[in-house]
Structure 1
Amino acid sequence: MSVSWAESYVGQLRALAGDRTLMFVGARAVLHDSAGRVLLIRRSDNGHWSMPAGAMELGESIADCAVREVREETGLRALRVTAFALYTGPDRTHTNMYGHTYQIFTTAFRVDEWDGDLLRVTDETTDAGWFHPDGFPAPLSASVPETLADLAVFQQTNRLLLK
């Protein structure tokens, strides 16, 4: 069940903190189909193509966050996930289009098993689809190539990446 921005943990915290930089804990999910294509969603807030991702809510684990975001943004059910990278640190501090600044702590997950039918439009997306890495749509979120490169390293080394 999707909650509004104002009802979300980050939305409530932002209302209390005003313009202060906040820590933002979130998850990103990489899904591949049987043809090796990557699932990308077009975000309704900024129009960029990205992987399903979002903020963790109180009372859930980071893995549960990844599973929930996949469901909310694609209609698919992530059945099994593996964490492969942690993105943290001051270089991950960003100001969004609303003027809100966050130091982002993101855990990237590979979705190892999923089912369901892809919804191309949801409350949070204006489109979704499966794309070959050499044919990604634009504008593409900068997190997509970095995350895919890090997944490739993880799959070769079987070591969690810390960035």
Structure 2
Amino acid sequence: MSISWADSYVGQLRALAGDRTLMFVGARAVVRDNAGRVLLIQRSDNGHWALPAGAMELGESVADCAVREVREETGLRALRVGAFALYTGPDRTHTNMYGHTYQIFTTAFRVEDWDGDLARVTDETTDADFFPRDAFPSPLSASVPETLADLDVFEQTNRLILK
């Protein structure tokens, strides 16, 4: 069950901070099926295809955030996750379509085990499906190819990616 943006930690902080740049801590998840296809969601706010992701709430760990976002955006239950990349720094500052600026600190997780039935439409998505890496839909979020390239490096080296 998802909470509204206004009731979320980031939403409440935005209401207090006004136009200031805020730190945004979040998680992104790579979910693959047995054929190696990648799960993408089509975001309801901007129509872009992306990996399941979102902001961490007070009282949860970043790993719990990844699990919750997968559940909220896809209906799937992430049973085991492992971090493989951290995206931080001033080059990760972004102004969204609502004019809100955030310096984003994102932890990318590989979902190592999951179950459930895919929900193609949720409160936050207009579609979701598994795609082969050479046939992604568009428009595609810029974070998708970067995250998957970093996952490839992690799987070859077993070293956490720090950016």
TM-score by length of 1: 1.00
Rounded to whole Å, the distance in 2 between the matches of 1:66 and 1:10 is 16
The superposition leaves residues 42-73 of structure 1 with CA deviations (integer Å, 9 ceiling, x where unpaired) of 00000000000000000000000000000000
Partner of 2:132: 132
Partner of 1:93: 93
Supply the AA of the counterpart residue of 2:31.
L
Rounded to whole Å, the distance in 1 between the matches of 2:57 and 2:87 is 18
Moved segments of 4+, more than 4 Å: none
Partner of 2:111: 111
Deviation at 1:123, TM superposition (A): 0.2
Rounded to whole Å, the distance in 1 between the matches of 2:122 and 2:82 is 25
Deviation at 1:102, TM superposition (A): 0.1
Partner of 1:10: 10
Q: How many residues align?
A: 163
Deviation at 1:7, TM superposition (A): 0.2
Partner of 1:38: 38
Rounded to whole Å, the distance in 2 between the matches of 1:55 and 1:152 is 24
TM-score by length of 2: 1.00
- The alignment's C-alpha RMSD in Å is 0.3
Q: How many percent identity over aligned positions?
A: 87
Unpaired runs of 5+ in structure 2? none
Supply the AA of the counterpart residue of 1:133.
R
Partner of 2:25: 25
Supply the AA of the counterpart residue of 1:115.
D
- Give 3-state SS (helix, strand or coil) of 2:134's partner: helix
Deviation at 1:136, TM superposition (A): 0.2
Deviation at 1:120, TM superposition (A): 0.1
Unpaired runs of 5+ in structure 1? none
Partner of 1:149: 149
